[in-house]
Amino acid sequence: MTRTSVTLCADESRAAGEDPIGTAPHWAEVTVLELDVPVWAQLRSVDTWTPAQSAVFAALRGKVESSGAGFGLLMSAPLSPGAPLRVRHYVRGPGGYCRQDYAADLPQSEWARGLHDTLIEPARLRDWDALPAPERGADLHVCTHGTVDAACGRYGVPVHAALREAGERAWRTGHFGGHRFAATAVELPSGLLWAHLTPALAVQVARREVSPAEVAGHLRGFAGLSARAQVLDRALLVQHGWDWLTAQREAQVDGDLVTLTATVAGHTRTYCAAVTDAEPLLLPGSSHKPDRAPVRQYVLGEMEIHPAAPQALPLL
């Protein structure tokens, strides 16, 4: 039998020179469910959800519609397969997100309980065991979900393996969007999303062995901000260096005009710039569907700083 080759969407994205900035989702909080890989398919199978599981997602949709605040849901394989349900919850805070871990004597099939108690009714977290979170270092959630898109299996698996071999905290993670950016990863608590990582580059990024300027073309954006604000935020990360991630950043977007306010150690500065649309690219959204659609690209205009001051914030 002849095997049909698949053109990977990630290869087409790289070949087209796509700039991934502005493609990170906008999250106010993130819940990470530690689930064995076979359970990932159960969570994604809407037709098999119980009424209680469906009710959780209905409540989450209502929460987003009423507040406008999105949430992230990540599925990561636990270090010990078959372990009881464990949840990592990240809430937007200074310099990114704040992490809190919870454990319960519940089977993984109770994943909806973890979503409900972290994202809908946090008062119920008193019934969980709060666990100490690591004091330092990043969690790299690498999409390895090859059954959703072949690109994530092809490129994500070796990136995850390289990070683990290097001693970094890396998690084999289910689909979270952005197949064409494989290997793609969510870095927490910084809230950065990465695109087109290689095994070597992923380790360098995790250890901050490269400057932001060197990896700017691999940054999808900071999930704490909306798309156009992510474009301005990346420019400021390149300008200030990795210490920029310690700043509390908030942004307002009015049409194309982005106003980003950063606060560090009591010092506040506001940055304004127009972020306009560039000529879009026509790219497939999946390795398994040949249909192409316009992909938005951005152009950052001249930046203004208020109050006028030297370029560097007193970050340290």
pTM of the model: 0.93
- % of the chain surpassing 70 pLDDT: 95
Question: What tokens appear for 152 in the block?
Answer: 């994530």
174-211 per-position pLDDT tens digit: 999 899 999 999 999 999 999 999 999 999 999 999 99
Predicted local distance difference test score (pLDDT) of residue 104? 92
What pLDDT is stored for residue 99 in this prediction? 94
Tell me how far apart the alpha carbons of residues 245 and 264 are, in angstroms, rounded to a whole number. Answer: 10
In a 13 Å sphere around the CA of 40, the CA atoms on its Cβ side amount to 23
Give the mean pLDDT of 14-35. Answer: 96
Length of the chain: 316
Confidence of residue 123 (pLDDT cuts 50, 70, 90): very high
Token pair 């071999």 is at which residue?
165
| pLDDT tens digits for range 40-92 | 998 989 999 999 999 999 999 988 887 777 899 999 999 899 999 999 999 99
Task: Dump pLDDT digits (tens) for 158-179.
Answer: 999 999 999 999 999 999 989 9
